[in-house]
Amino acid sequence: MGLRIRSLGWAGFELGAGDETLLIDPLADAGAVFRALGEEADPIVPPEVIAPEHPTAAAGLVTHLHRDHADAGALAAGLAPGAPVLEPAAGGGEGLELLGLAQAEHELDAAGLERRRIEAWDTARIGPFAITAVPAVDGTGDPQVSWLVEADGTRVLHLGDTMFHGYWWRIALRAGPIDVALVPINGAVLDFPHRQPPSRLPGVMDAEQAAEAVRLLGARVAVPMHYGGYAGTRFYRPGEESLDRFLAAADGGCELRPLAPGEQFELGAPAGSGRAAA
């Protein structure tokens, strides 16, 4: 047996082991992400997203509470009754410090979902899945984790929309070997009203940084994500030709598997690794 990995579009994935599934950062209402900007959001083209194939997931994993990664409606529709939503520990603060989290916080609370905060390096076991929060760094300073999921001897690391950081070696040492890295690549430059003055550097890994992260992690398969949407506003400016640049930068380092929404593959642990082979 192996671990099934199905793209839901943007940063959303459905992972399956046997009859059980997990959701990570599913997104149903992609147009809601920038709706608070009013007319400023009119030119924005949202990414294509789809619903999970099996709307009875044992848990939902949220890398951070920005609306494109924490869609309460998508979670409520995709989870089994009573299934928990795992999210990063709170970062504290008040006022403008928390403004970027307000929409997702309100919607998650209103949906009545069971929410569990997980500290970095802590592990939860749900069904056949071992789920570990590992460090990540958010481009606006909000709490974020990456999720390491292991089942059927296969390890998948979902990197949310982290910036490039220095935890790669620790993650590889503690959590490796990584079989599949789901890696953001669009290198968006951010100019949000609550984070001024804006940084001139990307708030999420660009294509070349993503390729370097995959190399440092030693992942044997890389799936690019978090690209192909949300251009058209001064507040969020994705890099150009992100997929082509990532494929060029990562070529030869590992197997590359771009997935359109709805596409999937199944992967087992490599032969000779001491874990179950595909």
**Residue 224: closest CA among 246, 209, 251, 255:** 246
pLDDT at 89: 94
Per-residue pLDDT for 277 more than 50?
no
Per-residue pLDDT for 206 more than 60?
yes
Instruction: Give the C-alpha distances (Å, rounded to integers) separating 2 from 72, 105, 156, 179, 265.
Output: 29, 34, 11, 11, 10
Q: Among the CATH numbers 3.40.50.170, 3.30.110.70, 1.20.1250.20, 3.60.15.10, which is that of 3-258?
A: 3.60.15.10
pLDDT, tens digit, 9 for 90 and up, residues 43-91: 899 999 999 999 999 999 999 999 999 999 999 999 999 999 999 999 8
Instruction: Give the C-alpha distances (Å, rounded to integers) separating 252 from 84, 211, 243.
Output: 39, 11, 15
Query: Would you list the domain boundaries of the chain?
Result: 3-258
pLDDT, tens digit, 9 for 90 and up, residues 230-239: 998 899 999 9
pLDDT at 270: 58
Per-residue pLDDT for 152 more than 70?
yes
pLDDT at 268: 73
Contact 47, 9 (CB under 8 A): yes
Q: Are strands 221-225 and 255-256 parallel, antiparallel or unpaired?
A: parallel
The pLDDT > 90 percentage for the chain reads 81
Nearest-Å Rg of the Cα atoms of the chain is: 17
Contact 145, 134 (CB under 8 A): yes
pLDDT at 36: 79
pLDDT at 275: 47
pLDDT at 276: 35
Q: Which of 32-46, 165-179, 194-208, 234-248 has the lowest mean pLDDT?
A: 32-46
